[in-house]
Chain A
Amino acid sequence: MFHPITTVHYLVLSAALLAVGTIGVLARRNIIIILMSIELILNAVNINLVAFSQYFRQVSGQIFAIFVITVAVAEAAVGLGILIALFRNKETVQADEVNLLKW
């Protein structure tokens, strides 16, 4: 069990976190949980970026992780604003009950 930790460990962990987030986005109905799962996915991406930044001994990956965090924060703010507007109009937070544009 006590092998030295390599970049591969971080990549596998990142893939697992990405899978968990994907299940959350696709299978949950509550929009708040869906937004939280998107945060999980973006964090998986950040783990990957930092692992490769460490592997190549460059800080560019960490810079990119900072930009990903910026976009994630903007996305959370706008998404939660949309959620509040949606709840005010339709009185629901379930994603599949908002089906006006559905075929």
Chain B
Amino acid sequence: MTETIFFYAFALLTLGGGVLTITRRNAVHSAIALIVSLSGVAGLYLLQHAEFLFAVQIILYVGGVMLLFLFVIMLVNLDEAARDRQFNKQWWLALACVAVVGAEIVYFLRKGAAAFQLAQPSAEQMTQGNTERLADVLFSQYLVPFEVASILLLVAIIGSVIMGKKRV
């Protein structure tokens, strides 16, 4: 009961924030709506007993990525873009993509949705915390992808510094 109410509340935050993000004229308003949406996603993680991802979502997305977006919005002059036309002529392509996703979901709901139930956390999941289990798997089974991700981040740092330099 409580979980149902919280799910619908977080779903409303997520989708409402998402819709506001893509419809606002002012980029700062879009960024604030995106913060609301990302916080809703964080709440959904918490509902699914993914506590570590909840913390990562808040710290990294709401704290880090959105700060980056807001700084860039301040660095770039957006007054002219706000007065200009907001949507381009590809809306039919967007509608086609949405229609494909919608058809897929309707087919899924009619065919096999009844087979899915949300798994209750089992006993061993309760004795060992979410972060502990994640760390166990991440640093044993997924160690090589973890190290590759650090190389990716290094490349991203160097790339963004070079892109942001005065003379390219």
Whole-angstrom distance between the Cβ of B73 and the nearest chain A Cβ: 6
Given the known interface contacts A80-B68, A94-B81, the answer about A74 and B153 at a Cβ–Cβ threshold of 8 Å is yes
* Complex interface residues of chain B between 63 and 97 (CB less than 8 A to chain A): 64-65, 68-69, 72-73, 75-78, 81, 84-88, 90-91, 93-95, 97
User: A15 contacts B87, CB within 8 Å?
Assistant: no
Interface of A is mostly: helix
Which label, helix, strand, loop or mixed, suits the secondary structure of the B interface? helix
Asked if B104 and A71 make an inter-chain contact with CB atoms under 8 angstroms apart, the answer reads no
Task: Tell me, rounded to whole Å, the shortest Cβ–Cβ distance linking B98 to chain A.
Answer: 4
Instruction: Tell me the chain B residues, 132-160 only, with Cβ under 8 Å from chain A.
Output: 133-134, 137-138, 141-142, 145, 149, 152-153, 155-157, 159-160
Most B CB contacts (10 A, CB to CB) among A1, A4, A9, A30 go to A30
Count of chain B residues near A, Cβ 8 A: 89
The chain B residues found within 8 Å of chain A, CB to CB, are 1, 3-5, 7, 11, 14-15, 18-19, 21-22, 27, 30-31, 34, 37-38, 41, 44-45, 47-50, 52-53, 56-57, 60-61, 64-65, 68-69, 72-73, 75-78, 81, 84-88, 90-91, 93-95, 97-98, 101-102, 104-105, 108-109, 113, 116-119, 121-122, 125, 130, 133-134, 137-138, 141-142, 145, 149, 152-153, 155-157, 159-164, 168
